[in-house]
Amino acid sequence: MAKPMTKTQLVAALAEEMGSDKKTATSALDAMVDIITKEVSNGGAVTLPGVGKIYCRERPARMVRNPATGEQIHKDADKVVKMTIAKALKDSVNG
């Protein structure tokens, strides 16, 4: 498996693709992250065409087990961020 692309590498690739400098690409990437974070944290969802959908899901309260001791513990309800991958991306990876 290849190493994940770092933010620096992503900014450089984005700047090259946009035909602009790294400062502009960094601003664009940071703005996208801020928008996605605000929308998902407020209970909404964001669809990135060709990539997927990022959304927040609530998990109910439940009993969990500590694997070290086997003790049952009550875990309160919480929220988790999920992402559904777009079919186009799945097909490009598998095809």
pLDDT in tens, 3-44: 999 999 999 999 999 999 999 999 999 999 999 999 999 999
Residue 75 has pLDDT above 80, yes or no: yes
pTM of the shown model: 0.78
CATH top-level class for 45-95?
few secondary structures
Question: How many CA atoms does the CB half-sphere of 63 hold within 13 Å?
Answer: 3
Domain residue extents for the chain: 1-42, 45-95
Percent with pLDDT over 90 in the chain:
96
Decide if 36 contacts 44 (C-beta within 8 A).
Answer: no
Decide if 29 contacts 11 (C-beta within 8 A).
Answer: yes
**Which residues is 75 bridged to in the sheet?**
62
| 46 — pLDDT class (breaks 50, 70, 90) | very high
Rounded CA-CA distance 44/48 in Å is 13
Closest CA to 56 of 85, 80, 84, 36: 80
